[in-house]
Amino acid sequence: MNAPVKRIKRRVDGVLLLNKPVGITSNTALQIAKRLYTAEKAGHTGTLDPFADGLLPLCFGEATKFSQYQLEADKCYRALLQLGITTTTGDPEGEVLQCLPVTASAELIQTTVAGFIGDRMQTPPMYSALKHQGKPLYEYARAGITIDRPARPVSIRAIEINNLNLVEATVDITVTVSAGTYIRTLAEDIGSQLGCGAHLTRLTRLASGGFQLAQAVTLAQLELDNTPTRDARLAAADGLVNYLPQIQVDAPGAKLLMQGQHPLFHAEIEQIGLLRAYHEQQFLGLVQVQADGRLIPQRLMSSRTLLETL
């Protein structure tokens, strides 16, 4: 019997904008994409629940250095709320807890939904991947154990009602939120304020940071691609942090940065903090700009090839 052929993994760098289908986990989607690219190193930028679909940025190679910063970017979702029914998970995968009549008028629903815009405190759901003593909360929830979760600040940037169906008691919304906001919890909170309860029945991520679902590719499309076409779909790593301000660094400063030193930035600095650093069109990585104008490297691209060009 012939031994199975072992795939030779290769260095792949960049960001794949994947349109994750309903029914699989984000990690399953990642492993499929990693296999198709025969990539050495890959990771995702935050999970989508199995019942949800839409934009899932996946990172390969050098881009994995910046995946954590995409977690901090704003997200945009389209969600369908079912009023009058609550579930154990806040989504269609849970068991029904309660059914109540929906008596709120269209005007009251519209006013209530709009009232959630702004900064607020939100308690993360038990059915989430947040860790407690090294275990995700959903493992405790499945065992019937409730863990105390402190509320944390989130921001609902915008909510638009796309469709309101009083007969079926559903509300179709598009919502833009800060990082760490749970749309399932938002749906439950809206239902609670209306006095009838609610859960999420559909969720699609439309945008993450500067990435849009319209740019994404499906797994089925990737399967059909040849290697050059597949590679051409990858976006540059700096797209993961394109919501941060940027600065241009001259060649001597860029060389010092890539050597781990702290060059002095001579141009006028509009703000201090975390910024994207470039030399001409070349992305160097992220730097912390100090009040005295010094650049402290935080996350840098590989210096192997960059130093040769400086």
Has residue 98 been placed in a domain?
yes
In angstroms, the CA 160 to CA 79 distance is 10
The whole-number pLDDT of residue 305 equals 55
Which uninterrupted H or E stretch holds 53?
A: strand 53-60
Does residue 300 fall inside a structural domain?
yes
37 and 82 inside one domain: no
Q: Which residues span the domain enclosing 231? A: 14-72+210-240
CATH number, domain of 275, equals 2.30.130.10
Q: Which of 308, 309, 276, 294 is nearest to 65 (CA)?
A: 276
Residues 100 and 47 in one domain: no
Rounded CA separation 263/255 (Å): 9
Q: Answer yes or no: is 6 within a domain.
A: no
Domain end, chosen from 208, 230, 265, is at 208
pLDDT at site 39: 93
Q: Residue type for 72, please?
A: E
Position 298 scores a pLDDT of 92
> 47 with 109, same domain?
no
3 assigned to some structural domain = no
pTM tops 0.85, yes or no: yes
Structural domain count of the chain: 3
Query: Is the residue at 37 inside a domain?
Result: yes
pLDDT of residue 79: 98
* Of 13, 49, 53, 91, catalytic: 49
Q: Are residues 94 and 129 in the same domain?
A: yes
Pairing, β 246-248 against β 273-279: parallel
pLDDT of residue 113: 97
Is-catalytic flag, 172?
no
> In the chain, pLDDT over 90 holds for what percent of residues?
62
pLDDT at position 139, please?
A: 74
- Supply 262's token pair: 């702290």
Any domain includes 90 = yes
Burial class (CB in 10 A: 0-12, 13-18, 19+), 134: exposed
224 and 284 together in one domain:
no
In a domain, 5, yes or no: no
Q: Are residues 67 and 216 in the same domain?
A: yes
DSSP reduced 3-state for 33: helix
Query: Do 104 and 188 sit in the same domain of this protein?
Result: yes
In this prediction, residue 268 carries a pLDDT of 65
Q: Mark whether 102 and 64 lie in a shared domain.
A: no
Tell me how long the chain is.
310
Shared domain for 81 and 192, answered yes or no, is yes
Same domain, 90 and 50: no
For residue 33, the domain's CATH number is 3.30.2350.10
Low-confidence ranges of the chain (pLDDT < 50): 1
Per-residue pLDDT at 285:
93
CA angle at residue 56 from 51 to 61, to 5 degrees?
Answer: 140
Q: What pLDDT score was predicted for residue 259? A: 87
Do 63 and 80 belong to one domain? no
pLDDT at 221: 97
- Whether residue 8 is contained in a domain is answered as no
Q: What is the pLDDT of residue 2?
A: 55
Answer yes or no: do 215 and 253 share one domain: no
Structure tokens at 100: 């109540």
CA distance 71 to 43: 12
